[in-house]
């Protein structure tokens, strides 16, 4: 069962909720930039990437491991080249912190998955 809760932001949870990520992203734009921590990139992303790509145009990038100005700049360059409208961070704290700073600095909508 999928459930949705709205606090100040949208929160979706439930069995196979990741397979709805592309649909949720499409609420905020048609071109998304996804930052994945290494574990998610290697082990989980293959399970839901195709579902995202069916709903929205995405560029997926593996997070470099540290929330630094260099990493934020690297990701920002890639997202600009892809003309991304929104940023999604998937993984642990450093990945999400990087997505937050990146979105704030460059004026993009931000989504997070832990």
Per DSSP, the residues of 28-70 read T-SEEEEEE-HHIIIIIHHHHHHHHHHHSEEEEEE--SS--HH
In order of 18, 53, 77, 87, 104, the CA distances from 42 in angstroms are 15, 17, 23, 19, 27
Domains of the chain: 19-113 (3.40.50.1970)
Q: Round to whole Å and give the CA distance between 67 and 95.
A: 7
83-99 per-position pLDDT tens digit: 998 889 999 999 999 98
Q: Round to whole Å and give the CA distance between 47 and 45.
A: 5
Residue 6 has pLDDT above 70, yes or no: no
What burial letters (b/e) apply to 61-92, b meaning 16+ CB within 10 Å?
eebbeebeeebbeebbeebeeeebbbbbbbbe
What is the rounded radius of gyration, in angstroms, for the C-alpha atoms of the chain?
A: 13
Q: Round to whole Å and give the CA distance between 76 and 54.
A: 24
Residue 108 has pLDDT above 80, yes or no: no
7-56 per-position pLDDT tens digit: 656 778 889 888 899 998 998 899 999 999 999 999 999 999 999 999 99
Q: Rounded to two decimals, what is the model's pTM? A: 0.86
- Residue 53: the pLDDT is 95
Residue 62 has pLDDT above 80, yes or no: yes
Q: Round to whole Å and give the CA distance between 19 and 16.
A: 6
């Amino acid at each position: 069962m999928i459930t949705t809760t709205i606090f100040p932001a949208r929160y979706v949870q439930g069995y196979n909720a990741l397979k709805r990520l592309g649909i949720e992203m499409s609420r905020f734009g048609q071109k998304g930039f996804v930052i994945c921590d290494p574990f998610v990139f290697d082990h989980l992303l293959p399970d839901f990437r195709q579902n995202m790509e069916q709903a929205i145009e995405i560029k997926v990038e593996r997070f470099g491991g540290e929330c630094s100005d260099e990493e934020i700049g690297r990701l920002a360059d890639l997202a600009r080249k892809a003309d991304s409208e929104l940023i999604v961070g998937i993984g642990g704290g450093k990945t999400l912190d990087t997505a937050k700073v990146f979105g704030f600095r460059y004026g993009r909508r931000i989504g997070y998955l832990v």
